[in-house]
Structure 1
């Protein structure tokens, strides 16, 4: 559900309700309602802003399947890392396997 995805992605990104609301030009109370009341249907414009703020595509945000939300965020963040940081991250991953 959209409400679950917004809450999960906001949590993954470490954003408060207020921070996300400010990023998308909304209110903390409306973001809370979106997360708690699945029957609320935001406008396409707001969904677009939420997707951008949460660093996912609109399709991913609207997709009913919950799989891979964390992976999507991880790989988007990974793409922006320096090559040196990517090498360090790979070393860490190999060490904890």
Structure 2
């Protein structure tokens, strides 16, 4: 359930209701409602902001599936500047070319 996943992720990130609400641009009481009332349906925009602040994907919050770490990494990678992307690509190439120990 969305509320359980939201609460679990929030606690895993060591965020209070108020801290998450502030970061996501909503209220503490609305976060509480999302976590505890299954009939509450947040907007897609809010779910997206919550996922970003909780360092997970929308799919994880909504459905509880998806390869979260890879998707979060790729989302963050896409927002980087070209110089940083080039640096990361060089690091990845170096790691791939390194023989297995």
- Scaled to the shorter chain, the TM-score interval is 0.5 to 0.7
In 2, distance between residues paired with 1:7 and 1:58?
Answer: 14
In 2, distance between residues paired with 1:7 and 1:28?
Answer: 12
Counterpart for residue 7 of structure 1? 7
In 1, distance between residues paired with 2:37 and 2:14?
Answer: 21
Give the number of the structure with larger relative contact order, counting CA–CA contacts within 8 Å between residues 6 or more apart: 1
Counterpart for residue 36 of structure 1? 36
Counterpart for residue 25 of structure 2? 25
- Gaps of at least 5 residues in structure 2 are 74-101
Residue correspondences, number: 71
Question: Given the two structures, how large is their TM-score scaled by the length of structure 2?
Answer: 0.63
- Gaps of at least 5 residues in structure 1 are 77-97
Runs of 4+ in 1 over 2 A off after TM superposition: none
Question: Given the two structures, how large is their TM-score scaled by the length of structure 1?
Answer: 0.66
In 2, distance between residues paired with 1:59 and 1:35?
Answer: 16
